Amino acid sequence: MNSINKKEIEKFSRIAEEWWNPDGKFKPLHNFNPIRIKYIKENIIKDFKIKDLDKPLKNIKLLDIGCGGGLLSEPMRRLGADVTAIDASKKNIEVAKFHAKKNKLKIDYRVSSPEKLKTTNKFDVILNMEIVEHVNDIDFFIKESSKLLKKNGIMFIATLNKTLKSYIFAIIGAEYVLKWLPIGTHDWEKFVKPEDLTEISKRNKLLLKKLDGMQFNILNNSWKVSDDTSVNYITKFIKT
């Protein structure tokens, strides 16, 4: 089996040069990044009972799956994590490697998917951020991701809910009206409801510990953690 969706990889490979342009095609992710980083960092500190807040992720082995150009991999490394980052797009990895080298950041970037990753290590933390809605088979993808996580390790999954509201906001609004994203970025049929994600994860030894909405405020152009999971949401799972 294979979790890679070739059409999705080709789509993101075509715009790979845009990853680090804050006003380019990935502008929404640049806006989204601060709240994602804060959420991940705070939950890791809490769960691993970390005292040293200077480099809070020091000694944390972290895997960033579907890392793109490295928008999350680099901040995680700066916070001290030992980062391995994978993406099925060779172009994305080339961009990520170049940017990390330019910023003197040691990150182990590889062209891979979870099922093809050759490693003897298991990770303390795995990030599956805005990736499950782009994979070929979500059940298989979560299964293979879970295999790479240590017992009691944390997996963060952020994605889009499958609701009428998400179709209006994430596709009609973001792609067609506001032009925040290239048309065709998302396929609503691949969005996943939190209860379905929870059930898939449970089958693969991942227990839901936290579920939060991520809400965008168009007036001040910023994101916040919210109780509203109807469009974007983020989850924290623990490996049992």
Q: What is the pTM of this model?
A: 0.95
Do the Cβ atoms of 75 and 19 come closer than 8 Å?
A: no
How far apart (Å, rounded) are the C-alpha atoms in residues 111 and 198? 28
pLDDT in tens, 46-92: 999 999 999 999 999 999 999 999 999 999 999 999 999 999 999 99
**Where along the chain do its domains lie?**
6-161+189-239
Select the more confidently predicted residue: 126 or 28. 126
**The CATH number, out of the four listed (3.40.50.2300, 3.30.450.20, 3.40.50.150, 3.40.50.720), of the domain defined by the range 6-161+189-239:** 3.40.50.150
Question: Which of 71-75, 184-188, 198-202, 230-234 shows the lowest per-residue confidence on average (mean pLDDT)?
Answer: 184-188
Do the Cβ atoms of 125 and 81 come closer than 8 Å?
A: yes
Q: Which two tokens stand for residue 1?
A: 């089996």
How high is the pLDDT of residue 220?
Answer: 84
How far apart (Å, rounded) are the C-alpha atoms in residues 96 and 116? 19
Q: Which two tokens stand for residue 48?
A: 């691993």
pLDDT in tens, 149-159: 999 999 999 99
Report DSSP letters for 151-173, one per residue: EEEEEEEEEE--SHHHIIIIIII
